[in-house]
């Protein structure tokens, strides 16, 4: 996948597309056709087909489901918590997706560095406060945290969505850091 | 599922078995037949069938796969990181599994509270040191951490396994805390 | 004290009962008669008789005195703060005592891992919130913390009791960790 | 300075150029002529002319002086420590400068999120390790830290430079966060 | 004890000397005769006679015993850990004692603020490094920490002494902060 | 500057007064005439004349300007945040200045160790709470923090002053720790 002069996209072996099980290859090809390139997370995780399938099933269950959180809001959660976890791949790749979803070229960098000062609504700041508590002190999340969300119009099901996105990308952040997963060059400028 | 006098097993609605999609119901029934009871995580997560399927697919991909980590060692990772994340369900349920897998009634409480002082091998302590770094500072995991593991005989693939288990249960810990997921009474005494 | 095949109960020398000053030996024998075994803390601390005497005098002054905190509540403080301090001996030994005092086989593991989700009253959660602040940020405990306790019916004297138990076991936790003090096997199943 | 439809660039009053002391106005006009726009930090700090003068004198003494650190390396220090301090203005503005100085469109986002995984040399990573220690635990910086720098070819004077840049931008980060200083839109795409 | 114009020495009731049990009164009178004033800790803790007796028995067992740590070194441990715990009484009162024991008017303030930069020996810095680990991460103190001490000539018994002093004053720090215990004015200038 | 028997005042070279640029020498001589000695910060920073000039210009802009904060209050900010940053020079030197400015021999040690328990007003405690947030979590300082200050009569301009002093001395603390800057012996007893 990578030419000799390019840095590795993972410290683990990256399979050739042709060696992958058909379902995984098909998903990757579909993404490539839609995006114009293959995001490295697909190739890096394909080293472990069963984990790949579970990972993307989980991803889709959270990010593609209907619900009260807009697609841009879901990406805000990813970007804010991923920077707090210092995950290069997730901030850069999902920053691009956030810019596109929000149709706002500035928002991703703002949310990544300090969402409290970003051009987002008080409701969105409350959403990110909750997400950050899930990421860093989930043990203390209780009635009070749900009540604060409710004051901003979030239902209990919305709270689950926020928590699950923060928790799932916490998994993703940890794996990407351990793997040294490299963001594709394309992400840096998408949506700017 | 819960009688009136019992505390709720989740702050979210818990579906009746009969209302569940067949594949989920079948998995739950199979677990019940094997264990003699239904671990609450199955019922609590069944509120979201797609997430349930992804969660258990991921779980199985990490915990049931072949590999150099014994089943008891995988449970040690779960127990040590889950107590650090203050997740009641995961410490108590997987503590039971650890006692059974390790055929050691003392090990789970030891590993939960302070694995550095537990009756485990130096290799297992190195494994848990790595798991804890993944759980709390994955951003700083690099060549040095892999080299320390290698000194204890762990391959790069083993490192992926350790990291993935710590990261996946980090997701589980966060969701269980947000949901207020209650461990079944049965877990407390299993394997003691 | 320990047979050759057993792990040491302390990294420091453990005196033989027969070598101990009479008052210490008598206290230990009395405990043994009441409990059926000698908790290792008695043997491990007997290495330093003067510290032994002061330690147990302090212990008794806090744990056996009359007061508004029930004996089970005092043990809750020990268990919650000791797990936060990662002290194996104190969580496992006092977990056993808590189960017995509370006549509740589940409570010790719940309180150890995350008291906020335990089967205890809001008053007891407020008591443990205060104890945790004493353990980790006593410098910031002021009028506000006492007022919160008062809302739950705790007097100023009760606050002293809570603080003193958290502080005293903070000392115990630190010594047990430095000494590598090992909990007796008996504690793991007592009261379950 | 800002049109009605634009968010404020500071929570404090922002003076009109025409109201500023001549020396400050001249500096701002010079920057504007060179850059094509006025970076908001100049306008926001101009609210306090004496502090403005001292701030930029300090800035110039560190960032424009000769020395062994390249201009790009100095900006790396700013970007890495500013993201750790969650300072939106500094990460976004100095990220732009870093891209330009390094002639590398990817480097700023990499260094901001996790410099340990960035496309930089081991020497530069050691420089940033030192800078991060200055930012977060300067009290523990001693001979050992200087020795590690020396192994990478940094002199004691270079260490002063690294420390002073990290410390000065720590001041800048704190003020920008308190002021709610807003990065100019122009910075987001410069050098990409 | 306190005149109307003086701040309280404790938020809890302070008994009159004449109301105290004879043994406690005698100890206090002896201290007063030796020091020329009654350190407030004696009066504040006398509110609880049993705890008073245990506290000072523990204190004496650690601070007055023979051993390889000089009296000044023991006070260094108290001062360094007490400032880290933000305990006003202990830093100010034991700072005075440290100045007297060390016959050095500068040392207490140096050790309190940052012992790593104090006019003490490398051996004493290693002693304080160990004490700080006991105070803040006793769970991780193991063979490696003892080995580092041994390189500086400290025996295992010395390690116990260091740990016990850090742990005991951790208790004292927490109680003094909760009680709002006020240092006597005399301490500020003693030994300067 | 230092005789052979005295510890170094900085790990970096300290210039002779006669080698300094005239403006710097004149400032130092003026300080010496006023104070009776040369505070080491002047000599240590004179190693870098441009940084010296910017540092003291910033210092004077914050500490000598008119405003609602008294000179003693400004020194309280320095002392409280500098101890939290473990900066020996700043606590000891500015502690002396605080004692003099406040005409109170006790206040500096109290504010350094735990300002929450010091003999200062609730307004001053609110000022120091804000300063500490600026020092340690400026990213989270927002409307709420300004509103709390306003309840104690602090204007937005006062908030800038508090923040700027905390931020500027954060720079100073970091440099003093990296340089190993030594407080003059004279400071320890001034104003006691």
Nearest CA in chain D to E118: D139
Residue D101: in which H helix or E strand, if any?
helix D88-102
Query: What is the spatial distance between Cα A120 and Cα A100, in angstroms, rounded to a whole number?
Result: 15
Pair D179, D44: CB distance under 8 Å: yes
| Chain D residues in contact with E116 (beta carbon < 8 A) | 139-140, 142
Query: What is the spatial distance between Cα B25 and Cα B17, in angstroms, rounded to a whole number?
Result: 6
- In chain F, % of residues over pLDDT 90: 96
Cβ <8 Å between C118 and B88: yes
Q: Is the pLDDT of residue C3 over 60?
A: no
Mean pLDDT for chain E overall: 96
For chain F, say whether E88 makes contact (Cβ under 8 Å): yes
CA dihedral D45→D50→D54→D55, nearest 10 degrees, is -10
Pair B107, B98: CB distance under 8 Å: yes
**Residue ranges of chain D whose pLDDT lies below 50:** 1-4
Query: What is the spatial distance between Cα C17 and Cα C1, in angstroms, rounded to a whole number?
Result: 8
Pair A160, A77: CB distance under 8 Å: no
Touch criterion met for E and F (3+ Cβ pairs within 8 Å)? yes
Nearest CA in chain D to A6: D119
Closest by CA position to B76, among listed B26, B21, B131, B27: B131
- pLDDT category, F6, cuts 50, 70, 90? confident
Q: Is the pLDDT of residue E173 over 90?
A: yes
* Mean pLDDT on B27-52: 98
Q: Is the pLDDT of residue E6 over 80?
A: no
Q: Residue F13 has what DSSP assignment?
A: -
Q: Predicted ipTM? A: 0.96
One-character DSSP codes across F107-144: HHHHHHHHGGGSS--HHHHHHHHHHHHHHHHGGG--HH
Query: What is the spatial distance between Cα C154 and Cα C162, in angstroms, rounded to a whole number?
Result: 10
Q: Is the Cα dihedral B76, B82, B86, B92 positive or negative? A: negative
- In chain E, % of residues over pLDDT 90: 96
Query: What is the spatial distance between Cα E134 and Cα E85, in angstroms, rounded to a whole number?
Result: 12
pLDDT of residue F120: 98
Q: pLDDT tens digit string along F49-76?
A: 999 999 999 999 999 999 999 999 999 9
Cβ <8 Å between E142 and B114: no
Pair C95, C79: CB distance under 8 Å: yes
Pair E92, F83: CB distance under 8 Å: no
Q: pLDDT tens digit string along D130-139?
A: 999 999 999 9
* Mean pLDDT on E42-59: 98
Distance of residue A127 Cα from the nearest chain B Cα, in angstroms: 14
Cβ <8 Å between E109 and F180: no
Domain boundaries, chain C: 17-63, 71-188
The structure tokens listed for E32 are 């007063």
For chain E, say whether D140 makes contact (Cβ under 8 Å): yes
Cβ <8 Å between E58 and C55: yes
Residue pointed to by tokens 């072996």: A13
The structure tokens listed for F85 are 């940053």
| Chain C residues in contact with A140 (beta carbon < 8 A) | 116
* Mean pLDDT on F104-129: 98
For chain C, say whether E160 makes contact (Cβ under 8 Å): yes
Helix (H, G, I), strand (E, B) or coil at E92: helix
Half-sphere exposure of E141 (CA within 13 A, CB side): 30
pLDDT of residue B91: 98
Nearest CA in chain F to A125: F140
Query: What is the spatial distance between Cα A163 and Cα A154, in angstroms, rounded to a whole number?
Result: 12
The class of domain C17-63 in CATH terms is: mainly alpha
Distance of residue A37 Cα from the nearest chain B Cα, in angstroms: 26
Cβ <8 Å between E142 and B116: yes
The structure tokens listed for E121 are 């020996």
Minimal Cβ distance to B167: which of A156, A166, A175: A175
Cβ <8 Å between C113 and B180: no
Question: Where is average pLDDT lowest: D163-167, F1-5, F150-154?
Answer: F1-5
Q: pLDDT tens digit string along C20-69?
A: 999 999 999 999 999 999 999 999 999 999 999 999 999 999 999 999 99
From residue F68, give the alpha-carbon distance in Å to each of E21, F155, F164. Answer: 52, 9, 14
Identical topology for domains E17-63 and E71-188: no
For chain B, say whether A35 makes contact (Cβ under 8 Å): no
Query: What is the spatial distance between Cα A45 and Cα A43, in angstroms, rounded to a whole number?
Result: 6
Query: What is the spatial distance between Cα D99 and Cα D105, in angstroms, rounded to a whole number?
Result: 5
Query: What is the spatial distance between Cα B171 and Cα B181, in angstroms, rounded to a whole number?
Result: 13
Distance of residue D140 Cα from the nearest chain E Cα, in angstroms: 7
Question: For residue A22, what are the contacts with CB-CB under 8 A and spacing of at least 6?
Answer: none
Distance of residue F184 Cα from the nearest chain E Cα, in angstroms: 10
**Residue ranges of chain A whose pLDDT lies below 70:** 1-5
Minimal Cβ distance to B139: which of A60, A85, A175: A85
Rg (CA), chain B: 17
Distance of residue B125 Cα from the nearest chain E Cα, in angstroms: 12
Q: Is the pLDDT of residue B71 over 60?
A: yes
Distance of residue F92 Cα from the nearest chain D Cα, in angstroms: 15
For chain A, say whether B61 makes contact (Cβ under 8 Å): yes
pLDDT of residue D6: 77
Q: pLDDT tens digit string along E131-155?
A: 999 999 999 999 999 999 999 999 9
For chain C, say whether A140 makes contact (Cβ under 8 Å): yes
The class of domain E71-188 in CATH terms is: mainly alpha
- Angle, CA C97 vertex, CA C91 and CA C101 arms, to 5°: 135
Query: What is the spatial distance between Cα A181 and Cα B136, in angstroms, rounded to a whole number?
Result: 18
Query: What is the spatial distance between Cα E40 and Cα E14, in angstroms, rounded to a whole number?
Result: 10
Minimal Cβ distance to A160: which of B12, B138, B163: B12
For chain F, say whether E132 makes contact (Cβ under 8 Å): no
| Chain E residues in contact with D142 (beta carbon < 8 A) | 116
Residue E5 burial (10 A CB sphere; 0-12, 13-18, 19+): exposed
Cβ <8 Å between E167 and C179: no
Closest by CA position to E66, among listed A105, C50, C60: C50
pLDDT of residue C5: 61
pTM of the model: 0.97
Distance of residue B139 Cα from the nearest chain D Cα, in angstroms: 7
Helix axis angle for A71-84 and A156-179, nearest 10°, is 50
Question: For residue F120, what are the contacts with CB-CB under 8 A and spacing of at least 6?
Answer: F76, F107, F110, F111, F128
Query: What is the spatial distance between Cα F87 and Cα E114, in angstroms, rounded to a whole number?
Result: 7
pLDDT of residue A5: 60
* Mean pLDDT on B164-186: 98
- pLDDT category, C6, cuts 50, 70, 90? confident
pLDDT of residue D5: 61
Q: Is the pLDDT of residue E59 over 50?
A: yes
| Chain D residues in contact with B138 (beta carbon < 8 A) | none
pLDDT of residue E171: 98
| Chain F residues in contact with C142 (beta carbon < 8 A) | 116
Q: pLDDT tens digit string along C74-127?
A: 999 999 999 999 999 999 999 999 999 999 999 999 999 999 999 999 999 999
Cβ <8 Å between F109 and E83: no
The structure tokens listed for C177 are 């960790």
Residue E124: in which H helix or E strand, if any?
helix E122-137
């Amino acid at each position: 996948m990578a030419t000799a002069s390019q840095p590795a996209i993972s410290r683990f072996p990256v399979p050739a597309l042709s060696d992958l099980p058909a379902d995984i290859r098909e998903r990757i090809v579909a993404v490539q056709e839609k995006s114009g390139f293959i995001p490295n997370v697909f190739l890096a995780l394909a080293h472990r087909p069963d984990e790949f399938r579970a990972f993307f099933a989980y991803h889709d269950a959270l990010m593609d489901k209907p619900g009260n959180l807009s697609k841009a809001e879901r990406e805000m959660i990813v970007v804010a918590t991923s920077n707090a976890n210092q995950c290069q791949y997730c901030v850069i790749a999902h920053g691009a997706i956030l810019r596109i979803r929000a149709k706002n070229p500035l928002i991703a960098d703002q949310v990544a560095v300090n969402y409290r000062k970003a051009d987002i609504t008080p409701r969105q700041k409350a959403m990110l406060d909750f997400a950050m508590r899930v990421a860093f002190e989930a043990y203390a999340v209780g009635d009070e945290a749900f009540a604060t969300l409710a004051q901003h119009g979030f239902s209990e099901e919305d709270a689950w969505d926020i928590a699950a996105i923060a928790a799932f990308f916490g998994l993703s952040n940890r794996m990407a850091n351990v793997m040294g997963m490299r963001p594709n060059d394309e992400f840096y400028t998408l949506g700017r």
